[in-house]
Amino acid sequence: MSDKHLFVNYSHYQDRPDPNMKQKMASHAAKYGPNGALAFRTSPEGTERAGEQPPSTSSNRHSPKQAQSSSSTPMQRSASIGSNPANSALREDYAMILARFDEFCACSGSSNANNPKSKVKVVHSEECSVLEDYLDLSAKHELPFRISLLIQQPAVLLLGTQKQDPLVTQCLLVAGQAAIDGLDPKFRGKASKRTLTLQQKALGAMQKLIAQRPNTIDDSLVLASAVLMAIAAFFDDTDAYKAHKPSLQKMIDMQGGMTQTSTHRMAKAINGAAEVNLAMCRYLALPRQDSNSKKTTTSPQIPAQAPLKLKYPMPPFAPEVTRSIERLSPGFQALAKSSKLCMQALQLIALVSKWSVLIDQPANSETEQRQLLSNTAGANARVLDLCTDSIETQRQAAFLLISLPIDAAHMKLERCICLGLLNLLHSLTMWQYPVPVRDRLVLDFTEGIFSLAPKDKNEEDCMIWLAIAVASEWRHCAIKLKDSPLLARHGHDAAVVCQLWVQKSKQLMDWLIVKCERARAWEDLAAICARFLWLRRLNGEWKQTWKEAMERRLRNMPRKKSRS
DSSP state of 157: H
Q: How many angstroms separate the CA atoms of 74 and 338, rounded?
A: 55
Q: Of 155, 173, 194, which one is at a domain's C-terminal end?
A: 155
The confidence score (pLDDT) of residue 118 equals 39
The verdict on residue 401 lying in a domain is yes
The verdict on residue 353 lying in a domain is yes
Q: HSE (CB half, 13 Å, CA atoms) of 310?
A: 22
The confidence score (pLDDT) of residue 454 equals 93
The confidence score (pLDDT) of residue 110 equals 38
Instruction: Give the torsion sign (CA, 367, 369, 374, 376).
Output: positive
Q: How many angstroms separate the CA atoms of 111 and 7, rounded?
A: 10
Q: How many angstroms separate the CA atoms of 480 and 498, rounded?
A: 9
Residue numbers of the chain with a pLDDT score lower than 50: 1-18, 21-98, 100-101, 104-123, 139-144, 147-163, 291-304, 363-364, 373, 375-376, 564
Q: Of 155, 175, 206, which one is at a domain's C-terminal end?
A: 155
The confidence score (pLDDT) of residue 388 equals 81
The verdict on residue 457 lying in a domain is yes
Nearest to 394 by CA among 430, 363, 342, 365: 430
| Residues 6+ away with beta carbon under 8 Å from 151 | 143, 144, 145, 373, 383, 386
Report the number of distinct structural domains present in the chain: 2
CA dihedral 546, 552, 554, 556 (to 10 degrees): -150
User: Please, are residues 465 and 533 in contact by the beta-carbon 8 Å criterion?
Assistant: yes
The confidence score (pLDDT) of residue 109 equals 42
User: Please, are residues 171 and 223 in contact by the beta-carbon 8 Å criterion?
Assistant: yes
Nearest to 223 by CA among 163, 154, 165, 168: 168
| Residues 6+ away with beta carbon under 8 Å from 501 | 442, 474, 475, 477, 478
The verdict on residue 43 lying in a domain is yes
Q: How many angstroms separate the CA atoms of 202 and 178, rounded?
A: 13
The verdict on residue 261 lying in a domain is no
The confidence score (pLDDT) of residue 111 equals 38
| Residues 6+ away with beta carbon under 8 Å from 402 | 279, 282, 283, 286, 303, 305, 307
The confidence score (pLDDT) of residue 54 equals 30
Query: DSSP 3-state assignment of 127?
Result: helix
Query: DSSP 3-state assignment of 122?
Result: strand
The confidence score (pLDDT) of residue 413 equals 94
The confidence score (pLDDT) of residue 240 equals 92
pTM: 0.74
The confidence score (pLDDT) of residue 429 equals 63
Which domain, by its residues, includes 127?
A: 1-155
Secondary structure (H, E, C), 467-510: HHHHHHHHHHHHHHHHCCCHHHHCCCCHHHHHHHHHHHHHHHHH
The verdict on residue 162 lying in a domain is no
Radius of gyration of the chain (CA): 25
The verdict on residue 358 lying in a domain is yes
The verdict on residue 490 lying in a domain is yes
The confidence score (pLDDT) of residue 117 equals 42
Q: How many angstroms separate the CA atoms of 163 and 165, rounded?
A: 6
The confidence score (pLDDT) of residue 455 equals 92
Q: Of 121, 137, 155, which one is at a domain's C-terminal end?
A: 155
Secondary structure (H, E, C), 390-440: HHHHHHHHHHHHCCCCCCCHHHHHHHHHHHHHHHHHHHHCCCCCCHHHHHH
